[in-house]
């Protein structure tokens, strides 16, 4: 974290360039939840810090054909996907059976860099120093991806989660991130902002649809996965991801060890994911809450759930995308 404050870096605005400050002054803005204002850039809503990270990423990131980029909306299974794909691509270098796997001693967010987060923290970060094949994650929309990500043969694994669970996960995460700022922000107002799309990284649905259509248009470039299928049939989905990124399993190989290592039960019990903070100031345990499908029922009233369902029907109608919970 950049200073002694307990507020995580992404809620601060100290590292903005003059260029970004000038741009921000011309962007539509809305009152934020954890920060005073959020801004609309290329159709999405961002905090100043994450917008700075996105702009630097657009300017400086040069994709390589061998790159693997994990894309999610926030709270849609990023931590899980990072763990699984890290374990998959490194399974010969770091066999799970050896007992000293990096995931046992390092939080997944430190093993797989968050592109716009890293660019906000360290604008000069040299991504070319990452080990081959480079594995990174982002929440950047398809429209706003750096040009080289689209023009190169790098691959994207997109993981989406049903909007009610995603929203509820974000709601609880936000309360942990900045408890004071969330104190007088009612859940009803958050649902309304979420449905209007004027919420961090929103509109949620547009993000999903962009990658959904990209995966249909170019199935070798974008693989579309859902948190729910990953949860219901983890081995099948992990094998599908492995095939897609070109490290498929042989008939003799076991996928179950990786699945077990990366399970919610296993990762959330590790000391490294229970104690301490990431360098950006976020507590490592904030990324592990319930890890379930349908947990929204504990937080959302019927009318709030209906409001999200109506938006989903409107937005996803005709796309072929459906969520059953
Ligand atoms: N290994 C794992 N398996 C399943 N879910 C996991 C997981 N690790 C984290 N999660 C869940 O994924 C959500 C966090 O998403 P992200 O990693 O994108 O920030 C949280 O959901 P809940 O808040 O519903 O429990 C968290 O509990
Ligand atoms: C992207 C992120 C999860 C969401 C975090 C977040 C949530 C809500 C916010 O409210 S508002 O002030 O924008 O209205 C702000 C944030 C900023 C940090 C976000 C986290 C960074 C990495 C996580 O995946």
pLDDT tens series, the chain, 325 aa: 444 457 899 999 889 999 999 999 999 999 999 999 999 999 999 999 999 999 999 999 999 999 999 999 999 999 999 999 999 999 999 999 988 999 999 999 999 999 999 999 999 999 999 999 999 999 999 999 999 999 999 999 999 999 999 999 999 999 999 988 898 899 999 999 999 999 999 999 999 999 999 999 999 999 999 999 999 999 999 999 999 999 999 989 999 999 999 999 999 999 999 999 999 999 999 999 999 999 999 999 999 999 999 999 999 999 999 887 7
Does residue 239 contact residue 86 with C-beta atoms inside 8 Å?
Answer: no
Q: Which helix (H) or strand (E) holds 241?
A: helix 234-244
For ligand 1, atom 6: residue with the closest CA: 291
As a whole number of angstroms, the distance between CA 199 and CA 33 comes to 8
Note if the bond before 245 is cis, omega within 30 degrees.
no
In short, whether 290's Cβ falls inside 6 Å of ligand 1 is yes
Which ligand 1 atom is at minimum distance from the Cα of 290? 25
The Å distance, Cα 126 to ligand 2 centre, comes to 24
The pTM for the full model equals 0.97
Q: How far is the CA of 59 from the centre of ligand 1 (A)?
A: 31
Ligand 2: lining residues by beta carbon, under 6 Å: 10-11, 32-35, 38, 47, 74, 78, 117, 139, 174, 200
Classified as helix, coil or strand, 112 is: coil
Positions marked catalytic: 139
């Amino acid at each position: 974290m950049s200073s002694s404050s307990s507020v995580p870096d992404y809620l601060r605005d100290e590292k903005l360039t003059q260029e970004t400050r000038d741009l921000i002054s011309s962007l539509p803005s809305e009152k934020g939840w954890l920060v005073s204002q959020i801004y609309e850039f290329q159709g999405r809503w961002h905090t100043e810090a994450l917008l700075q990270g996105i702009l630097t990423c657009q300017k400086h990131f040069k994709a390589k054909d061998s790159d693997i980029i994990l894309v999610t909306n926030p709270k849609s299974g990023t931590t899980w996907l990072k763990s699984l794909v890290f374990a998959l691509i490194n399974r010969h270098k770091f066999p799970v059976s050896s007992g000293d796997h990096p995931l046992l001693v390092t939080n997944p967010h430190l093993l797989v860099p968050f592109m716009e987060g890293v660019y906000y923290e360290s604008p000069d970060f040299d991504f070319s120093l990452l080990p081959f094949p480079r594995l990174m994650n982002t929440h950047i929309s398809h429209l706003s991806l750096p040009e080289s990500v689209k023009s190169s043969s790098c691959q994207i694994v997109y993981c989406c989660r049903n909007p009610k669970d995603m929203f509820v996960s974000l709601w609880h995460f936000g309360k942990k991130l900045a408890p004071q700022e969330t104190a007088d922000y009612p859940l009803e107002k958050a649902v309304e902002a979420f449905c209007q799309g004027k919420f961090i990284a929103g509109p949620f649905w547009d993000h999903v649809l962009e990658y959904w259509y990209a995966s249909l248009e170019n199935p070798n470039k974008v693989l579309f996965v859902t948190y729910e299928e990953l949860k219901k049939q983890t081995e099948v989905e992990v094998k599908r991801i492995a095939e897609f990124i070109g490290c498929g399993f042989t008939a003799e190989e076991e996928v179950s060890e990786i699945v077990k290592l990366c399970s919610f039960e296993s990762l959330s019990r590790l000391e490294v994911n229970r104690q301490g903070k990431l360098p950006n100031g976020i507590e490592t345990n904030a990324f592990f809450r319930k890890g379930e499908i349908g947990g929204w029922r504990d937080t959302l009233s019927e009318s709030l759930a209906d409001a999200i369902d109506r938006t989903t029907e409107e937005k996803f109608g005709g796309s072929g995308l459906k969520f059953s919970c």
